[in-house]
Amino acid sequence: MTLQKYNSLRDQLSDNQYLSVEMRDALPVILVRHTDFSADLAIQGAQLLRFAIQNKEWLWLSETAEYKTGTSLRGGIPICWPWFGNAAKNPSSVTTHITGDNAPAHGFARSQDWSLTSVTESDSDVVLGLSLENPAHPAWNGDASLKLEVSMSASALTLALTTIAGQKEVAISQALHTYFPTTDINQTSIAGLEDESYIDALDGWATKTQTGPVAFVDETDRIYTVSRDLTLQSPGSTMILSGNNRTAIVWNPWIDKGARLSQFEDDAWKNMFCIESADVMDAAVTLQPGESHTLRMTLVNRSI
């Protein structure tokens, strides 16, 4: 099936100016090589792996990422859907669709093959449309389909993830689990979450209030409410993250957990952090039959 998918994509992209496809171990990866920017996207999970302008990488991807069937890669922007994290920690509206004990962390959209449905390219931008028409898993009885639009230009990166309910009501938690690079986690901060409440997953899921910009001094795993754009500051880089998400997860595994993670070098925690544009916990989305909802995030780099 993988080779068939690769051959199909190769034929599909044969007339495009800026796009091609290659095999990386077991996975087909779409290559975007525009004159102003470049990107790599794995068809499995519709996972954007990298995006760069002027050779400056906007996303972090593990040096030990494994291109295996059914395994999400560590880095880029994995899609968490139709639940987030540990399935049991999701609200009851979401867990009512979870039917087994084998529910994988962060759902299953990130480990299934998507279809490339559209390509638009011009001298200034490239837009990819992808779909997961019949997402299914033994541990889920929901009814919905998924579409993703990835818009790239020399000034911004936008992802729009649309859930379309099927013939019955469905509730989902979701996140665009973005990994960001930094040259020094100790000099990295996030502004825009001041005075916001958050759940501290490392302190008994206690609810707290953020004071000042977020800094990284230890393992961090927090679910924030979001009401404004975020400014991501690290040495030599200022990025603006915006979107219509109502929650955001801030994460860094630090030393001990980092040493236990798969596809993660022991000292990689020094050079990455995650801000996940999300609708989780009380912000979970409920859709009536035929309704749709789009989770959108836009990233702009002010240091270019």
Mean pLDDT of the chain: 97
The set of catalytic residues is 177, 276
Note the pLDDT of residue 101: 80
Query: What ranges do the domains of the chain cover?
Result: 2-301
Task: Answer whether the bond into residue 289 is a cis peptide, omega within 30°.
Answer: no
Phi and psi at 109, nearest 5°, equal -60, -30
Residue entry with tokens 């004159």: 35
For residue 5, what pLDDT band results from cuts at 50, 70 and 90? confident
Task: Read off the pLDDT of residues 14-73 as tens digits, 9 standing for 90 and up.
Answer: 999 999 999 999 999 999 999 999 999 999 999 999 999 998 999 999 999 999 999 999
Q: What is the mean pLDDT of residues 250-261?
A: 97
Degrees, nearest 5: CA angle 21-55-258: 85
Assign domain 2-301 to a CATH class.
mainly beta
Note the pLDDT of residue 134: 87
**Would you say 30 and 19 are in contact if contact means Cβ atoms under 8 Å apart?**
yes
pLDDT at 1 over 70: no
- How much of the chain exceeds pLDDT 70, in percent? 100
pLDDT at 163 over 80: yes
pLDDT at 248 over 70: yes
Task: Read off the pLDDT of residues 71-113 as tens digits, 9 standing for 90 and up.
Answer: 999 999 999 999 999 999 999 999 999 998 889 999 999 999 9
For residue 3, what pLDDT band results from cuts at 50, 70 and 90? confident
Note the pLDDT of residue 2: 76
